[in-house]
Every structure is written in C-alpha cells, then in structure tokens.
C-alpha cells in the first residue's frame, strides 16, 4: 500500500513517500559491529606504522590504511541505509574481497615484497581471517531482496 511504512524503516527525508532500506537490523547489526572493530584495528595499526616506521614497509602500511578507509566506508553505508547505500556497500564489499584475495595471495606467493604484515596479509590471518570472511558474509547478506526494492517484487 502506498505510504505504508516497513517496520523499522524510516522514510528518506530527501524523497518523501519512499522508504529507506534498513541495513542494520538483525545480521546487519553484527556486520556493522564487526566492520567497526575492523575500522578501529586497521586505523590504529596503519596510523602507528605510518607515523613511526613508514620507510620500513611503505606498501604494507599504505595497504593497511586503504583497508581502514574501505572498512570505514562500508560501516558508514551500512549505518546510513537506503537502496543507494546498500548498492554502494555491496560494490565496496566485493572490491574489499578482491583486495583481500589479491593481497593475501601476493603475501603468500612473494613474502619478501612485504617486510611487515598488512591487515589483509595471508588472507587476514593476523585478524583471525575476519578480513576474508567479512566481505563474503556481507555480500551474501546485501544481495538478498529488501522490502520495497525492485528485486523483492514489492512496490
């Protein structure tokens, strides 16, 4: 029914009448929490390493900073909600997964290229493999049909 609100989904202020997809309900809340923890870990690690020993392993420390930015953006989009934020988070999670797989494979194949570890080294082994499991879980969750989205069949 037009104007009917989905439970827990506030109307988007910039587009009256449309509903904002709530991304942080249920499993989304766990994803936001885990991404938030990863933001703190990656930001603090990269900030310390860049400020104290950047010349030792600039590529590794720069990649950790990139990971921190990716985690922060995904956290923001999940909290923001809405169809556009959901799509942005989905694209960013897919890019994150590619990054984790490429950097993980690179650190295994050529460990000498990384004198120090990154967040994504060895597929996130230093972070209990959360960096590789998190985007897989997030992509799976974000791809499901949302109430009011064209994919859900609801109008």
Does residue 91 fall inside a structural domain? yes
Does residue 97 fall inside a structural domain? yes
pTM value is 0.78
Cα 93 to Cα 59, 71, 107: the distances in Å are 22, 9, 21
Q: 64 lies in which domain range?
A: 27-143
Residue 155 pLDDT > 50:
no
Does residue 11 fall inside a structural domain? no
Does residue 7 fall inside a structural domain? no
Residue bearing tokens 């989304």 = 28
Domain count across the chain:
1
Cα 88 to Cα 73, 81, 92, 108, 116: the distances in Å are 9, 10, 6, 30, 31
Does residue 67 fall inside a structural domain? yes
Does residue 153 fall inside a structural domain? no
Does residue 123 fall inside a structural domain? yes
| Whole-number pLDDT of residue 113 | 84
In this predicted model, what pLDDT tens digit does every residue of 93-152 receive, in sequence order?
999 999 999 999 999 999 888 888 888 999 999 889 999 999 999 999 999 876 655 555
In this predicted model, what pLDDT tens digit does every residue of 41-84 receive, in sequence order?
999 999 999 999 999 989 889 999 999 999 999 999 999 888 89
Does residue 150 fall inside a structural domain? no
């Amino acid at each position: 029914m037009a104007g009917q609100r989905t439970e827990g989904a506030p109307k988007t202020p910039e587009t009256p009448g449309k509903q904002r997809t709530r991304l942080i309900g249920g499993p989304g809340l766990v994803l936001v929490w885990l991404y938030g923890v990863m933001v703190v870990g990656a930001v603090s690690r990269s900030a310390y390493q860049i400020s104290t020993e950047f010349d030792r392993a600039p590529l590794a420390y720069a990649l950790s900073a990139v990971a921190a930015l990716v985690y922060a953006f995904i956290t923001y989009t999940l909290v923001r909600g809405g169809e556009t934020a959901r799509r942005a988070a989905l694209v960013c999670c897919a890019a994150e997964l590619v990054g984790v797989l490429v950097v993980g494979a690179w650190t295994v194949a050529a460990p000498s290229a990384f004198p120090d570890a990154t967040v994504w080294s060895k597929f996130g082994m230093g972070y209990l493999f959360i960096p590789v499991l998190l985007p897989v879980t997030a992509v799976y969750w974000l791809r499901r049909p949302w109430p009011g989205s064209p994919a859900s069949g609801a109008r």
